[in-house]
Homo-oligomer: A and B are copies of this chain.
Amino acid sequence: MRPKLLTPSSIADCWHSLRQQRPLVHVVPNLVTANDLANALLAVGAAPIMAIEPAEFSQLPNRALVLSMGTPTIDRMQLLAQAGRAAQAKNLPIVLDPVGVGATVWRKQAALALIATVQPTILRLNLGEALALLDQTGVAHGVDVGHAWHDPRLVAGQLARRYGCVVGLTGVIDVVSDGMNWIQLEHGHQWLSQITGAGCIVTSLIGALAAVINDVMLATVSAIAGFGMAAEVAAMHALGPASFRVALFDQLGAIAELIDNSRLSYRMEQHDAD
């Protein structure tokens, strides 16, 4: 397979489709970022529904499911699993954000059980969370994971093959991988690490685009690229992390135009054999 190029027009098309189709996106939110995700999805033109009653999961006419593992409890993990099974029955894309999975052994085991049940279409996480999921016996902070792992391209590829899904690994450098191929992006701003919910928001945007685009790699790259560009523009209008956050949400509605005006394209590369 030759390297493939994701062009600005293919990415902008995702964002335009989203606004035209206005898909219902079911989000199982956490206690911290529920409001942020609703506002982010509304800003980009999706129709969020934050449903947490299992009795109505199968009745929702949603086109994607977004699972945020933040503020996990034993009951919430069951709820996330139930939402996942409902989405599986509808054959919908499922995006899972294993928030802070490396924080405790309990959280990691809960995440692994959830992944096994839900079989997410896409995992969106940061490097610390990815490393925690690649070592099934320890936790991120207590394990010497070795240097080779820290190349985000290798980490993303390994994770995608391990869990059979597309991985959106975000950080200073973002990598999207389906286990065979990877795409690297370098957008965003340091203030993203000084506000809560930035990762959850990208996760929800991936869900929104996956609702309207069958190509999961393209949806994931488009979400991460668009969000990162919005952050770059927002930072120019901000005095600190809070005014940055306001400007970021303002820009979310203009992502399609931001990408239309950019000249950036992203090259898809093949992973080396393990």
Contacts and interface: CB of A to CB of B under 8 A. Distances in A.
A207 interface: no
Contact of A104 (B39, B59, B103): B59
A38 B32 contact: yes
A136 interface: no
Nearest to A57: B104
A29 B29 contact: no
B239 A243 contact: no
A22 to B, nearest CB: 11
A31 B29 contact: yes
A248 interface: yes
B39 A196 contact: yes
A84 interface: no
Contacts of A249: 240-242
Contacts of A242: 39, 43, 245-250
A9 interface: no
Contact of A250 (B39, B243, B250): B243
Contact of A35 (B51, B53, B197): B197
Interface residues of A, number: 56
B241 A250 contact: yes
Chain multiplicity (copies): 3
A73 B53 contact: yes
A5 interface: no
Contacts of A51: 71, 103-104
A56 B106 contact: yes
Contact of A106 (B39, B42, B59): B59
A153 interface: no
Interface in A104-129: 104-107
Interface in A1-58: 29, 31-36, 38-39, 42-43, 48-53, 55-56
Given A105-B59, A194-B42, A50 B70 contact: yes
Interface of A: 29, 31-36, 38-39, 42-43, 48-53, 55-56, 59-61, 70-74, 100, 103-107, 141, 193-197, 237-243, 245-254
14 contacts: A29-B31, A31-B52, A33-B35, A35-B36, A38-B196, A43-B242, A53-B73, A55-B74, A56-B103, A60-B103, A61-B141, A239-B250, A241-B253, A243-B247
The 10 A-B pairs at the shortest CB distance, nearest first, are namely: A240-B250, A242-B249, A38-B196, A59-B104, A56-B104, A56-B106, A53-B73, A242-B246, A32-B34, A242-B250
Given A49-B100, A241-B253, A242-B249, 7 more contacts: A31-B34, A32-B34, A38-B196, A43-B240, A48-B196, A56-B104, A242-B247
